[in-house]
A and B are shown apart, each in its own frame.
Chain A
């Protein structure tokens, strides 16, 4: 039954991992603008389709 200690440890580590991921994503400002990315996502498909011969459009994804 001492496997329960291992399982508990794993569950805590996983939970803390997700918690840290959330805090980091908030801190980096990912949730500050939730609207623009939804629009931006739609452009790039069409631009690529349009300019297949040209060099690929640079995506400004230095978020």
Chain B
């Protein structure tokens, strides 16, 4: 089979040749011509078949005619020049970057365009007098790079990137390096005259360098320690803040009274290493977003039917937020309904997969209620708004308090729980040692007290968790399990109950199983059926066609598609009807069958008006599901929460291990409350879900994991995104997070050894600045090396196990 020269897809349905090159559709051919004419054919040299089939829907971007909406999308506008940034999900290769950055060859009014590949965004500077935003968007769509514009863009606040950690790291690193240089002469104790003359200058310079480190770079530790103390928690930042403070005060006193050189090198080094740990802990996946709510799915504008003075109805584009109850709006093919509404006119065939994860379409008749979040799949609908966007059944979920709560404030990490005992122990040692020296040699008491606090500063302990979790985060990312932040890895180790959504989570969104029930079809009938399905665009027809496409194709004499009902086709003297039971049996079918057909998804077939049978679609459960659940059930409680009816209960029973609780007909709020209840009973719950209806449960759970067939497509707000193809490895991820906790324990032991050695120097009053300056970085670096090697080892063992 030929492959399209533009997009690389096999040319199944059509085969168009242009200059001896095959194309799979007219759209691809048009893009090729357009790029060719405009001297952009380098696009095809850079990568093999880099293109994306353009899909253009008429009227889709009409809302950009409304200047208020168009202006909201602009990042910047000044006279003639405008700047706009779009998210373009189809950016995928270097050819994409090249063609998009040469946009001005296609549209001279574009002054410059810059692609950010990891984020899949493009920023275009253009002359707004010469080209309208809508034309620009249409141009992008025409070459296959359709911008994704959603409701989220309308209340786009200026994106503030918090770079303060980088600045702090820079300040600390800068000061650390310079102070090290300045300390050198005194490390080597060059001859007396030199030291006497220049030491004060060097020391005061070091003091100057450490001021920004203490008061700017280290401020987070002071703030966190203060917050901890106020809520009576001795978190790890308390001994750290104490250590930093003591280091600074002691060193300042040292140089003021000319006792010595002070510990400025250790001080700046300590803060630098701590900040490196903090920096390492965060790994951002720029192309993933963990914070999405319904706004990323919903359109920015809709077509409203309004009346002018003469009672003539006209269409206008309005922002979604302006829609009120009672408004009439139009929903076109492939548009998403942003409000709850009553269907007035048209055949509704709604895809609720955004909401429920269920990919099968639902058909509705006029007078029926439609819920926000559904995507129309056939023709134009006219609906009357029942509830505006923020009050709809779906979006109400976001008004729940759970979305305002920060999960982390409540979570006490392992490091924090250790640090309580640690702080108490250190303070005890400091006071005992001071007391001893008070009696024995009072002149050394202050020296010893501060030295103990300095050397016990738990830098290495504070680094173990960030580096272990940071490494695990990266290993998980390579295995396509994208975790939002390091703390999530630790919380994962403590999970003892896992709750699964059914549709889209346990079942895969694509490739449902189809089985035929009824009177066997003859070969002729199957051929006619295949040919008829081929002409239809209904999703069920498409998937059935994919299964039957090996049959020969007949030329149809007639074909008719009745949206929401079914299709008819005839060839030779045969006539076939395909579709809903009601449509196929023409109302003559028996009632039992009709009822049965409502509860399941099936395509019914009649030939020459004689009912034959139906293809029944069954959910396809993910590969390795039973094995995974069996593995998980050894240590964890398992629950299945489904929004669907219990039609699949029997089948599911066979797959899940005994003792798994199953609940059906769960509304989004029910799921949320269920998890809340489990938590009340002391469980640490992981929720695994996919649709927007799981959003509340994902938020409420200790860890919300969203399953994504394609991680570039949006998933609801969560703590981690798991690539659907790696679903069966969830148990291994749990294992690895547990290994992580073991590694942290070991490194605590390791750093305690360093602390004991340091304390030996400190309590005997022998802590010279140079000893502190060696011990502190040495302990930090050995912790970093240890955790990195250990996590690598466990990670590679996991990958090896998987391959066997």
Interface residues of A (CB under 8 A from B): 1, 4-5, 8, 11-12, 15, 19, 22-23, 26-27, 29, 31-33, 35-36, 39-40, 42-43, 46-47, 50-51, 54, 57-58, 60, 62-63
Other than the known A33-B119, A43-B98, what 14 A-B pairs have Cβ atoms closer than 8 Å?
A: A1-B198, A8-B201, A8-B205, A12-B205, A26-B166, A32-B116, A32-B161, A39-B97, A39-B117, A40-B97, A43-B46, A43-B101, A62-B114, A62-B125
Using Cβ atoms and an 8 Å threshold, which residues of chain A touch B101?
40, 43, 60
B556 at interface by CB-CB < 8 Å: no
Nearest neighbor of B91 in chain A, beta-carbon distance: A36
Query: Could you tell me if A50 and B118 are in contact, using CB atoms closer than 8 angstroms?
Result: no
Closest Cβ of chain A: how far from B122's Cβ, in Å? Answer: 10
Query: Could you tell me if B104 and A26 are in contact, using CB atoms closer than 8 angstroms?
Result: no
Using Cβ atoms and an 8 Å threshold, which residues of chain A touch B651?
none
Query: Could you tell me if A42 and B197 are in contact, using CB atoms closer than 8 angstroms?
Result: no
Contacting residue for B118 out of A22, A36, A42, CB 8 A: A36
Using Cβ atoms and an 8 Å threshold, which residues of chain A touch B170?
19, 22-23, 26
Query: Could you tell me if B113 and A60 are in contact, using CB atoms closer than 8 angstroms?
Result: yes
Query: Could you tell me if A15 and B161 are in contact, using CB atoms closer than 8 angstroms?
Result: no
Interface of chain B, main secondary structure = helix
Contacting residue for B94 out of A5, A39, A47, CB 8 A: A39
Given that A19-B174, A46-B42 are known contacts, is A57 also in contact with B102, CB under 8 Å in the complex?
yes
Using Cβ atoms and an 8 Å threshold, which residues of chain B touch A26?
163, 166-167, 170
Q: How far is the CA of A35 from the CA of B167 in the complex (A)?
A: 21
Using Cβ atoms and an 8 Å threshold, which residues of chain A touch B174?
15, 19
Given that A8-B201, A15-B178, A57-B102 are known contacts, is A35 also in contact with B118, CB under 8 Å in the complex?
yes
Using Cβ atoms and an 8 Å threshold, which residues of chain B touch A63?
114
Closest Cβ of chain A: how far from B572's Cβ, in Å? Answer: 56
Given that A19-B174, A32-B161, A33-B119 are known contacts, is A62 also in contact with B94, CB under 8 Å in the complex?
no
Query: Could you tell me if B97 and A36 are in contact, using CB atoms closer than 8 angstroms?
Result: yes
B666 at interface by CB-CB < 8 Å: no
Using Cβ atoms and an 8 Å threshold, which residues of chain A touch B94?
39, 42-43
Closest Cβ of chain A: how far from B210's Cβ, in Å? Answer: 14
Q: How far is the CA of A22 from the CA of B197 in the complex (A)?
A: 34
Using Cβ atoms and an 8 Å threshold, which residues of chain A touch B181?
11
Bits for B94-128, please: 1 = Cβ < 8 Å to A, else 0: 10011001101000000011111111000001000
Using Cβ atoms and an 8 Å threshold, which residues of chain B touch A22?
170
Query: Could you tell me if B116 and A33 are in contact, using CB atoms closer than 8 angstroms?
Result: yes
A-B contact count (CB 8 A): 66
Nearest neighbor of A63 in chain B, beta-carbon distance: B114
Interface residues of B (CB under 8 A from A): 39, 42, 45-46, 94, 97-98, 101-102, 104, 112-119, 125, 161, 163, 166-167, 170, 174, 177-178, 181, 197-198, 201, 205
Which 3 A-B residue pairings sit nearest by Cβ, starting from the closest?
A60-B112, A36-B117, A33-B116
Closest Cβ of chain A: how far from B670's Cβ, in Å? Answer: 42
Query: Could you tell me if B42 and A50 are in contact, using CB atoms closer than 8 angstroms?
Result: yes
Contacting residue for A1 out of B118, B119, B177, B197, CB 8 A: B197
Using Cβ atoms and an 8 Å threshold, which residues of chain B touch A19?
170, 174
Contacting residue for A62 out of B112, B119, B201, CB 8 A: B112
Q: How far is the CA of A50 from the CA of B102 in the complex (A)?
A: 15
Interface centre among A39, A46, A58 (most CB of B within 10 A): A39
Query: Could you tell me if A60 and B42 are in contact, using CB atoms closer than 8 angstroms?
Result: no
Interface centre among A1, A33, A60 (most CB of B within 10 A): A60
Nearest neighbor of B198 in chain A, beta-carbon distance: A4
Nearest neighbor of B161 in chain A, beta-carbon distance: A32
Using Cβ atoms and an 8 Å threshold, which residues of chain B touch A47?
42
Using Cβ atoms and an 8 Å threshold, which residues of chain B touch A58?
104
Closest Cβ of chain B: how far from A36's Cβ, in Å? Answer: 4
Using Cβ atoms and an 8 Å threshold, which residues of chain A touch B46?
43
Nearest neighbor of B205 in chain A, beta-carbon distance: A8
Using Cβ atoms and an 8 Å threshold, which residues of chain B touch A39?
94, 97, 117
Closest Cβ of chain A: how far from B71's Cβ, in Å? Answer: 23
Nearest neighbor of A51 in chain B, beta-carbon distance: B39
Query: Could you tell me if A23 and B116 are in contact, using CB atoms closer than 8 angstroms?
Result: no
Nearest neighbor of A1 in chain B, beta-carbon distance: B197
Q: How far is the CA of A32 from the CA of B94 in the complex (A)?
A: 18
Q: How far is the CA of A51 from the CA of B125 in the complex (A)?
A: 24
Using Cβ atoms and an 8 Å threshold, which residues of chain B touch A60?
101, 112-114
Using Cβ atoms and an 8 Å threshold, which residues of chain B touch A5?
201
Using Cβ atoms and an 8 Å threshold, which residues of chain A touch B205?
8, 12
Nearest neighbor of B104 in chain A, beta-carbon distance: A58
Closest Cβ of chain A: how far from B699's Cβ, in Å? Answer: 28
Query: Could you tell me if B39 and A27 are in contact, using CB atoms closer than 8 angstroms?
Result: no
Nearest neighbor of A47 in chain B, beta-carbon distance: B42
Nearest neighbor of A5 in chain B, beta-carbon distance: B201
Nearest neighbor of B125 in chain A, beta-carbon distance: A62
Q: How far is the CA of A12 from the CA of B174 in the complex (A)?
A: 11
Q: How far is the CA of A8 from the CA of B344 in the complex (A)?
A: 82
Closest Cβ of chain A: how far from B751's Cβ, in Å? Answer: 31
Closest Cβ of chain B: how far from A48's Cβ, in Å? Answer: 11
Closest Cβ of chain B: how far from A54's Cβ, in Å? Answer: 7
Closest Cβ of chain B: how far from A38's Cβ, in Å? Answer: 9
Query: Could you tell me if B161 and A35 are in contact, using CB atoms closer than 8 angstroms?
Result: no
Nearest neighbor of B177 in chain A, beta-carbon distance: A15
Using Cβ atoms and an 8 Å threshold, which residues of chain A touch B161?
29, 32
Given that A35-B117, A43-B98 are known contacts, is A27 also in contact with B42, CB under 8 Å in the complex?
no
Nearest neighbor of A40 in chain B, beta-carbon distance: B97
A-B contact pairs, 8 of them (CB 8 A): A8-B205, A26-B163, A33-B116, A39-B94, A43-B98, A60-B113, A60-B114, A62-B112
Q: How far is the CA of A40 from the CA of B46 in the complex (A)?
A: 12
Closest Cβ of chain B: how far from A22's Cβ, in Å? Answer: 6
Contacting residue for B116 out of A31, A36, A43, CB 8 A: A36
Q: How far is the CA of A41 from the CA of B167 in the complex (A)?
A: 28
Closest Cβ of chain B: how far from A44's Cβ, in Å? Answer: 10
Closest Cβ of chain A: how far from B762's Cβ, in Å? Answer: 32
Using Cβ atoms and an 8 Å threshold, which residues of chain A touch B201?
4-5, 8
Query: Could you tell me if B39 and A23 are in contact, using CB atoms closer than 8 angstroms?
Result: no
Closest Cβ of chain A: how far from B83's Cβ, in Å? Answer: 11
Nearest neighbor of A43 in chain B, beta-carbon distance: B98
Closest Cβ of chain B: how far from A17's Cβ, in Å? Answer: 11
Closest Cβ of chain A: how far from B117's Cβ, in Å? Answer: 4
Q: How far is the CA of A27 from the CA of B115 in the complex (A)?
A: 19
Query: Could you tell me if B97 and A27 are in contact, using CB atoms closer than 8 angstroms?
Result: no
Interface centre among B101, B104, B118 (most CB of A within 10 A): B101
Q: How far is the CA of A23 from the CA of B98 in the complex (A)?
A: 30
Nearest neighbor of B101 in chain A, beta-carbon distance: A60
Using Cβ atoms and an 8 Å threshold, which residues of chain B touch A42?
94
Interface centre among B102, B114, B166 (most CB of A within 10 A): B114
Q: How far is the CA of A5 from the CA of B161 in the complex (A)?
A: 40
Q: How far is the CA of A58 from the CA of B117 in the complex (A)?
A: 20
